[in-house]
Structure 1
């Protein structure tokens, strides 16, 4: 028997925000029930003037609304969150879900592609002052995103316990195993051989001097690489895999695919994609950021918010879309 359809938008307490269709596809596949607007039942609708598109349904017993942004970035996410709050006035929690870049290490614990990061807070990495010789992030209390509310902080403390984190990992592995048995090749595990981490200063460029005059003289951090290199993969550029850093967790795994770890930490959020291992490491060292994404800063001050994202690259110049 299908669950009773909500009579009003006030019955929804949880909002989900995904920037990309591929992120929304994964979230929608986890709905226990969908209430489509064209199913012949009374429409849930939205507030006058709200341009957003929504999917509504049930996930793990909760009535949820998934908002579909028109694009990526803080502005798009903030706009869609503001209109969502106008239409769904009883939302108590927003989950920003999707993919992100990740720092290689979190307090001595390795982070790998496919791991999950849950936010304990965020920093806006491109909000600040641009001088001729440097950029200074604004960090005064009146200018930065605040900390999560009391209820969310308590929930995060519970989830971070050994028991709850273990349960999360088991649930994630179970879902991934089921997906791996399916026929959708887009959901198959790429393999540990594709989880490659280079030193932060190892540039993504043509490594055969005869292939490109610009890349041939690229030696210092400030030296440019050619435009073609920025959109080419490591195989085509002949990036030396012998330069990759050893990751004991990967080499020691005998599972079909390693069980993803769950990490709790700070997300760095901004309107620009970070494709620099050195910039990633600077934000990790200065701000303790372990995740890098482009939406949460727009949602953070509108809804009580938790960011949950899977690591699909190391926020360096070698990033590609294979793990998305």
Structure 2
């Protein structure tokens, strides 16, 4: 007999902003559930499924931005009375050199900051601009699961390749962009990156003589000719930057993804200027790891956890080549987290719809009967 599901069965809300982020979320589901009816005016399109012990409803925003995120999350809470934790999962821009392309950033409280701050919302006062837009800390159940997951990763590491392998096995026709990082053999240098000049003819002669000496005398008497210099690494650390005789820039992207925990800056504009990016970081005491466009719209009462795969460095070199892969690794971390999150702990959290009702922030619609 086929399993049947009701609106009250779903306790985890997963929100994403782009179609490629929705693809990443779908391929991480252990099981996909059939669709359910929804409120007549609810503009969201939902996907239903489960990961481990949790039944999950996924909503993809109609458009990016903080207002759309707030609207979609409120409708989700109205339609699903038992959602107790929310996750905002997708891609974002990293702040070098703290974060590299291909890393994962998870919002966590840092010093006086709660985890996510809206950098473009506040009040102009005599002492200057005071920010007032910030999300509350993630729900206690999520924070406890993160601590447990951090301990597991310290012991055994984050087995990203296992999740990617499972995705590939279950979805053999999935586009390779979601499973493998781009190679991009030739890219222009970043605006904040200094490139070494091409070697001169005399340098070639010197290297040839050194090679002969190295061969005759032995390795102990002479350092390796091709040792990696710190000056040859990009500011973000995402790639080894090589300069050939004709000035062509080549990069060998690394595959390893690091998980970083800290502050995410959210706003309503795409950041693709290194100076502006660094100014946002400076204004938040150099605590920012990632910038993005939706999370601050989820309001204090949702207490969401924001998880971002880093697809660019929020500068003039911003491009889309890493977006699919970044979306999948963020979703893979989310699945790893949900596998560490106990359903009994989720049930201890107050349903988000009840919190919104108490604060008078819910819509006036009547939820569907379950």
Q: TM-score, normalised by structure 2?
A: 0.63
Unaligned ranges ≥5, structure 2: 109-114, 195-230, 242-251, 324-370
For 2:290, the equivalent position in structure 1 comes to 291
Q: What does the per-residue CA deviation read over 1:63-93, in whole Å, with 9 as the maximum and x for residues that have no partner?
A: 1000121110000010000000001111111
Distance 2:28 2:295 in 1: 22
Higher-RCO chain (CA-CA 8 Å, sequence separation at least 6): 2
- CA 1:135 to 1:174, structure 2 compared with 1: closer, same or farther past 3 Å? farther
Q: CA deviation at 1:289?
A: 1.2
User: 2:134–2:296: 8 Å Cα contact kept in structure 1?
Assistant: no
Q: 1:105 aligned to 2:105?
A: no
Distance 2:277 2:49 in 1: 37
For residues 102-181 of structure 1, what are the structure 2 equivalents within 5 Å?
A: 102-106=94-98, 111-120=99-108, 121-129=115-123, 136-139=129-132, 144-161=134-151, 163-164=152-153, 167=156, 169-170=158-159, 172-176=160-164
Unaligned ranges ≥5, structure 1: 38-43, 203-241
Which has more radius of gyration?
2
Distance 1:65 1:26 in 2: 14
Q: What does the per-residue CA deviation read over 1:94-149, in whole Å, with 9 as the maximum and x for residues that have no partner?
A: 1111110011133xxxx221111111110001102469xx982414xxx5332234
- CA 1:61 to 1:149, structure 2 compared with 1: closer, same or farther past 3 Å? closer
For 1:245, the equivalent position in structure 2 comes to 234
More helix by share: 2
Q: 1:73 aligned to 2:72?
A: no
Q: SS where residue 29 of structure 1 aligns?
A: helix
Distance 1:197 1:102 in 2: 17
Aligned partner (choices 277, 281, 284) of residue 274 of structure 2: 277
Q: CA deviation at 1:11?
A: 1.0
- CA 1:30 to 1:152, structure 2 compared with 1: closer, same or farther past 3 Å? closer
- CA 1:167 to 1:21, structure 2 compared with 1: closer, same or farther past 3 Å? farther
Distance 2:188 2:142 in 1: 34
Distance 1:193 1:177 in 2: 25
Alpha-carbon RMSD: 3.3
Distance 2:52 2:188 in 1: 35
Q: CA deviation at 1:317?
A: 1.6
Provide the aligned length of Structure 1 versus Structure 2.
264
- CA 1:168 to 1:272, structure 2 compared with 1: closer, same or farther past 3 Å? farther
- CA 1:21 to 1:249, structure 2 compared with 1: closer, same or farther past 3 Å? closer
Q: What does the per-residue CA deviation read over 1:37-56, in whole Å, with 9 as the maximum and x for residues that have no partner?
A: 3xxxxxx3223532221111
For 2:311, the equivalent position in structure 1 comes to 312
Aligned partner (choices 29, 34, 38) of residue 36 of structure 1: 34
Q: TM-score, normalised by structure 1?
A: 0.71
Distance 2:54 2:94 in 1: 29
Q: SS where residue 169 of structure 1 aligns?
A: coil
